[in-house]
A and B are shown apart, each in its own frame.
Chain A
């Protein structure tokens, strides 16, 4: 079974440009999360989708960030325009719906390898 996949693995852009990060969750996982780690600091929650709906977007830093999840499958995170402080690693995670078997009920998140964003 394929894990959570993220694209691109690394993106280098100039300040003011736009970048779109993509996440493909594990098939059948309704819950999808975005997290970010900036400058070696702690990993921070950005937002949570349940299928195509935003359940919690309290961690989104500002309106330059736009997340979508069309049809409840893959998700994109767009940064427009990018600023220097947006540099970091963006992680995507997914989990099974509530009421699933085993570990899914305990909220285990399966993480992707992350997309490293460098803004120059």
Chain B
């Protein structure tokens, strides 16, 4: 079975500072990896995903993540955050395969707070 661990439940940072949200997963087979974001009073929105190929994945709003197979990690980074990045971020994995990356296993979420 797969599992996902987001090491930080809350991350406060100052505006324009860099940020890294950590995500580790466990799986005995290859997985697809995702980061979702939930802004206040909104649904989950896909930030980026890793399916195969380049281990550095770029997403929306200036975010990127790097897949590290040896460390089973998929940390999310942004070089300079804005107030509007305040949200909860979720790392997720799925088995993918022929039926598609449809059934997600989520981490506990990391609440990112940007301070002016």
Query: Which residues of A approach B to under 8 Å, CB–CB?
Result: 3-4, 31, 33, 35, 40-45, 48, 56, 91, 93, 95, 98, 105-109, 111-114
Contact = CB atoms under 8 A, between A and B. Distances in A.
Interface residues of B, number: 25
Main secondary structure of the interface of B (DSSP, over half): loop
Contacts of A108: 46, 49, 101
B90 interface: yes
Given A43-B104, A91-B44, A106-B51, 15 more contacts: A4-B43, A35-B104, A35-B106, A41-B108, A42-B4, A56-B103, A106-B32, A106-B100, A107-B102, A108-B46, A108-B49, A111-B36, A111-B44, A111-B45, A113-B43
Contact of B100 (A42, A56, A105, A112): A105
Which are the 10 A-B pairs with shortest beta-carbon distances?
A107-B101, A107-B100, A111-B44, A43-B106, A111-B43, A113-B43, A107-B102, A42-B108, A42-B106, A112-B43
Contacts of B102: 31, 33, 48, 95, 107, 109
30 contacts: A3-B43, A4-B43, A33-B103, A35-B104, A41-B108, A42-B106, A43-B44, A43-B90, A43-B109, A45-B104, A45-B105, A56-B103, A95-B100, A95-B102, A98-B99, A106-B32, A106-B49, A106-B51, A106-B100, A107-B94, A107-B96, A107-B101, A108-B49, A109-B46, A109-B102, A111-B45, A112-B43, A113-B41, A113-B43, A114-B43
